Amino acid sequence: MTPISLRCLAASLICAVIPSALDAQVTPRALQVGTDAVLRVPRHPSLEPTTAITVECWIKAVGSNSHGRIVRKAGDFQPGYMLSFSFSASRVGADYYNGMVSHQANDPLPNTRLLGNWHHLAFTAVARGQIHLYVDGVLVESNTAPSSFLHSDALVVGGLYISPTNIQEEFIGLVDEVRVWNVERTAQQIADNRFLYLNSGPGLVSAWHFDTDTNDSVGTNHGTLVGGARLVASDAPVRGLFEASSDRGRWSGGEVIDLVGDFPGGALPSAVNFGGTPSPSFSYAAPNVLRVVVPPGATGSTVPITARFASVEFSSRNSYVYLPKLELPATARIGSTAALRLAIPPPGTSVIFAGLPPRVQVAIPGLDGFLGIQPPFVEIVATPIPFANFELPITVPLDARLVGAEILVQGLFAASASPLVGTFVNLQSVRITS
């Protein structure tokens, strides 16, 4: 067998150039509050659970005035719940205030360690049970909760709102991803999900992302900026996740898979990428199901799937694996030639031809000679061939006894040269007709 010439290679090599796509430049945002600057959400029964509650958010603190109310759902000396930056002796604290009795859970460590960086805070409370305070997913304090939950006034992010000209107890800094639940979230749920962008879940009443506006993305508890409160660029460590209906496919692409996740309000992403390659097409099959066409990819490569929305990047829980590309026509007549497009397998991958009738020969363009195939299989093992793919014309003998037979081609990920060790994938077949 003589070496492959550049002339022969040029005649048989099929190249595909896939341009890289740049994601749209986007900026996540957070709520900036401070002196005389808060977000006010009108009072609503959905924000007033009677048996259990969870309130959580991310903060990047600069300081506080007085108690530094991060989230307050209680009028002045009126019942309700509060999450504060400096509730008691410069400590982060949660408080359920009922009938002149304060039920508190306070962080035992000074809040100065939380200044200047993003931290996640959460509290849970169960009537006739416990109130728990969490800092960065860790339970730091528990105490007795009230026997019943009483409520008053609007929900305010950033302080105590008495009137537009009378705002007190302000938190100074950034607040992001505020969520209110009418259930007690477990310690594990708080720890595991604090980094996630969420729009749904059992008991989730309201969620404010602040990326495009101050609206509630779950319910209708939309907020209004008061004073100098505004939305600013945010680098809070929040991301989205989705499940892909398939984590593998042919490296020629073209498969259609579903991405199932908590996507932002039905908005289409600016791009869905498989590694650095954009999907050519995607659309919603359901509010939480994004149907995506897989683009081509490099043989044997494992890439992340990401979807970039206006303010947050979502990613798949699992990577996507590109399997060997093997393309065949569906049928071939006896005495004809069927073109098999073959991509050179990467190291550790073999190509298996199986189910062929006896004494079939496959001509290899660019090489002198033929590849003789003897049933039940023949194997092409990865070698350092300096090109990516070529076409093999498979000549079907002019033999009526072959009508109805099938030529099967599969890729095999193998740890050894043995064709019997590995996992068969990506079955392709040609049915022989008269």
Domain 29-233, CATH among 3.40.50.970, 3.40.50.2300, 3.40.50.10490, 2.60.120.200? 2.60.120.200
SS3 188: helix
Q: Is the peptide bond before 296 cis (omega within 30 degrees of 0)?
A: no
Domain 324-433, CATH among 2.60.40, 2.50.20, 3.40.50, 3.30.70? 2.60.40
**Cα 126 from Cα 144, distance rounded (Å):** 9
Q: Residue 66, exposed/middle/buried by CB under 10 A (0-12, 13-18, 19+)?
A: middle
**Cα 74 from Cα 305, distance rounded (Å):** 43
In 3D, which of 84, 41, 40, 39 has the Cα closest to residue 61? 84
From first to last of the 434 residues of the chain, give the pLDDT tens digit.
Answer: 222 221 121 122 222 222 222 233 346 899 999 999 999 999 999 999 999 999 999 999 999 999 999 999 999 999 999 999 998 789 999 999 997 899 999 999 999 999 999 999 999 999 999 999 999 999 999 999 999 999 999 999 999 999 999 999 999 999 999 999 999 999 999 999 999 999 889 999 999 999 889 999 999 999 999 999 999 999 999 988 899 999 888 777 888 999 999 888 767 899 999 999 999 999 999 988 999 999 988 766 889 999 988 767 899 988 998 876 566 788 889 888 877 766 555 555 555 544 444 444 445 444 444 444 444 444 444 444 444 555 666 778 888 888 888 776 655 444 444 444 444 455 667 888 99
CATH number of the domain located at residue range(s) 240-323 in this protein: 2.60.40.10
Contact assessment for residue 158 and residue 174, using Cβ atoms and an 8 Å cutoff: no
Where does CATH 2.60.120.200 sit in the chain? 29-233
**Cα 10 from Cα 53, distance rounded (Å):** 68
In whole angstroms, how far apart are CA 155 and each of 227, 334, 378?
Answer: 16, 77, 71
Tokens 């002045």 map to which residue? 76
Give the global pTM. 0.68
Q: Which residues pair with 423 in a beta bridge?
A: 413
Where does CATH 2.60.40.10 sit in the chain? 240-323
